[in-house]
A and B are shown apart, each in its own frame.
Chain A
Amino acid sequence: MRKIIISTIAAAAVASSAFGHFQMVYTPESALEKGTTIPLKIVFNHPFADEHTMDMGLQANGKIKPIEEFFVVHKEEKTDLKKDLKEITFKGNSNSGKAYETEYKARKMGDHIFVAVPAPYYEKNEDAYIQQITKMMVNVAGAPTDWDAELGLKAEIVPLTKPYSIWAGSTFSGIVKGDGKPVPFAEIEVEYLNYDVDVKNNKMGEKAHFEAPQDSFVTLTIKADENGKFTFGIPKAGWWGFAALGAGKADKYDGKELSQDAVIWVQAKEMK
C-alpha cells in the first residue's frame, strides 16, 4: 500500500513539473477559403498562461541547437521548409524566447500538414530535456487530402477528426502513437491558446481571453484509452493544443532524461 502511494506521488511530481510546455506551430487561420500565402510562427511557450517563452533548442550548456526538421506534407508529398526558416525573438507576456518564422504559399487545394521537430530543450527545473514533435495543418478550399495520414513520426497524434473543421461545442479525437504503435493510457495535456498572437510584431496579445478557476484548468490533463485513443470536448472557438507526454521511445538525451512528446494543434469555430 505504502509503495503504491509513493509511486503515485512520484508520478505526480514528474507530471506536474513538466506542465504546460507547448511547441506551437501557429498561423491565424487553418481553414482557408482559397489558396494564399500564410505566416507561420514556431514558438515554444505556455499558451494558456503565457508565463514563460522558452528559447527553442536550449541545451544544458547554454548553447542553442537549431531546429532539426520543418516540413510540409501535401498530397503525400513531403517538402522541406527548414531552409526557409528565419530566426526570430518572440515576445511573450513575461519574457522573450528564441523562435522561428516563415511564410508558406498554401496554394494547392487540400490539406497541408506542417511538422516541426525541434532540438530537445533543456528544462533546468527538471534537469531533463523535452522534445515536442508538432503537427499543425491548414486546408485550402475544403477538399480533404492528407489530414488523417500517419506520417511515421517518432511521436505522433493521428487525428480522427479534421483538425481544421471543428465546431466549438463538439469534440476532437485522435490516437497517440510512438514509433507507429498506439500508446495505451498515454497522458495528454490540453491547453487553449488564451491570447491573440500578434503575427506582425512577433508577440502575444496582452489580454487573456479566459481565466482559469483553479490551477488544474490551466493545463488540462486527460488520458488515452487502452488503444491510445482519446476524445476531448472543445468548449470554445480558437486554437487548442494536445501534447501526449513521453509518447516517443527515446528517453535519454545528452546523458539526461528526455520526454519525447507528440503535439497537435486544432482550431475550433463558433456556430454563428
Chain B
Amino acid sequence: MKKILIVSAFAVSSMFAHTALMSCFDNGDNTITCEGGFSDGSSAKGVKFHLLQNGQSVLDGTFNEDSEFTFDKPEGDYEAQFDAGEGHKVTVKSSDIAE
C-alpha cells in the first residue's frame, strides 16, 4: 500500500512539474509544421494534434518521432492545438505563425 502511494505521488508531481509546449512555422510551400514538447525535454511523440477552424476540429493527428506534425495550410484563420490532456493543451493561432 505504502509503495503504491509513493509511486502515485511521484507520477502526479512529475505531471505538474512540466509545461506543454508547441511552436509552429510556415514552410513556405503551403504547409505548416508544428513542433511539440515539454519543458522537461521529454518528447511529444504520440501526443494528439488538432487543427481547428471556427472552434471545430478539421484535422486530427499525432506528433511523429521527431515531435512534429505537418499539415497543409488551410484557407482562412485556423488554430493549431497540442493536446496532451487537461492542463496540457497549447493552442497557436494562425496569425502567430511566422514564415
Contacts and interface: CB of A to CB of B under 8 A. Distances in A.
Interface of A: 34-36, 107-110, 140-145
Contacts of B39: 142-144
A143 B21 contact: yes
A interface, by DSSP: helix, strand, loop or mixed? loop
Contacts of B37: 109-110, 141, 143
B97 to A, nearest CB: 8
Given A109-B37, A141-B23, 7 more contacts: A34-B96, A107-B25, A109-B22, A110-B37, A141-B37, A143-B21, A144-B41
Contact of A36 (B19, B22, B41, B98): B98
Contacts of B67: 109
Centre residue among A110, A141, A142, A143 by max chain B CB count within 10 A: A143
Interface in B7-63: 19, 21-25, 35, 37-41
Nearest to A142: B21
19 contacts: A34-B25, A34-B92, A34-B98, A35-B23, A35-B98, A107-B25, A109-B21, A109-B37, A110-B37, A141-B22, A141-B23, A141-B35, A141-B37, A142-B19, A142-B21, A143-B21, A143-B23, A143-B37, A144-B39
A142 B23 CA distance: 9
A141 B36 CA distance: 10
Nearest to A108: B35
Contacts of B22: 109, 141
A204 to B, nearest CB: 29
B interface, by DSSP: helix, strand, loop or mixed? strand
Which 3 residue pairs spanning A and B have beta carbons closest together? A141-B23, A143-B37, A109-B35
Contacts of B24: 34
Q: State which size class the interface on B falls in.
A: 10 to 19
A35 B40 CA distance: 19
Contacts of A142: 19, 21, 39
Contact of B41 (A35, A140, A141, A145): A145
Contacts of A108: 23, 35
Contact of A109 (B19, B23, B98): B23
A140 to B, nearest CB: 6
B41 A143 contact: yes
A268 B90 CA distance: 26
A187 B59 CA distance: 57
A19 to B, nearest CB: 38
B83 to A, nearest CB: 17
B23 A140 contact: yes
Nearest to B37: A143
Nearest to B90: A141
Contact of A143 (B38, B92, B96, B98): B38
Nearest to A146: B41
A79 B19 CA distance: 29
B76 to A, nearest CB: 21
Contacts of A141: 21-23, 35, 37
A110 B92 CA distance: 17
Nearest to A140: B23
